[in-house]
Structure 1
């Protein structure tokens, strides 16, 4: 299933899950990285879809 076919709630939930994992990476003090470039690319696609749909979500603060 593509992102375009997902409902608003699912898009926001996917994005929020990545944001939470990035926050966990930051909280670990950089010792462990749960996410890499693939997750960042996926988050960018989700962010574009969120913006296209005019939804609101906190931006991810990437380390």
Structure 2
């Protein structure tokens, strides 16, 4: 696999994770109750961690 193909795949994964975060944020706004809010916050934090890893990986490949 070439670096450009890898970068394209990473960009697609990054876009998907960003969309997940956006969707989870919208859902969190509609939730009521502490348990729902905690679950939403946990899911968003997980997605943000994944995004950070992917962005770091992309930065390394782009050099």
Taking structure 1 as the reference length, what is the TM-score of the superposition? Answer: 0.56
Structure 1 counterpart SS, 2:43: coil
Q: Offset at 1:39? A: 3.0
How large is the RMSD of aligned CA atoms in angstroms?
2.9
Distance 1:37 1:48, change over 3 A: same
Aligned residues: 50
In terms of fraction of residues, the more helix-rich structure is 2
For residues 8 and 18 of structure 2, the distance between their equivalents in structure 1, rounded to whole angstroms, comes to 15
Structure 1: 5+ residue stretches without partners: 55-63
Instruction: Write the deviation string for residues 33-52 of structure 1: whole angstroms up to 9, x where unpaired.
Output: 38354433221111112223
For residues 30 and 41 of structure 1, the distance between their equivalents in structure 2, rounded to whole angstroms, comes to 23
CA radius of gyration, larger in: 2
The list of structure 1 runs, each at least 4 consecutive aligned residues, that deviate by more than 6 angstroms after superposition, is none
Corresponding residue for residue 39 of structure 1: 47
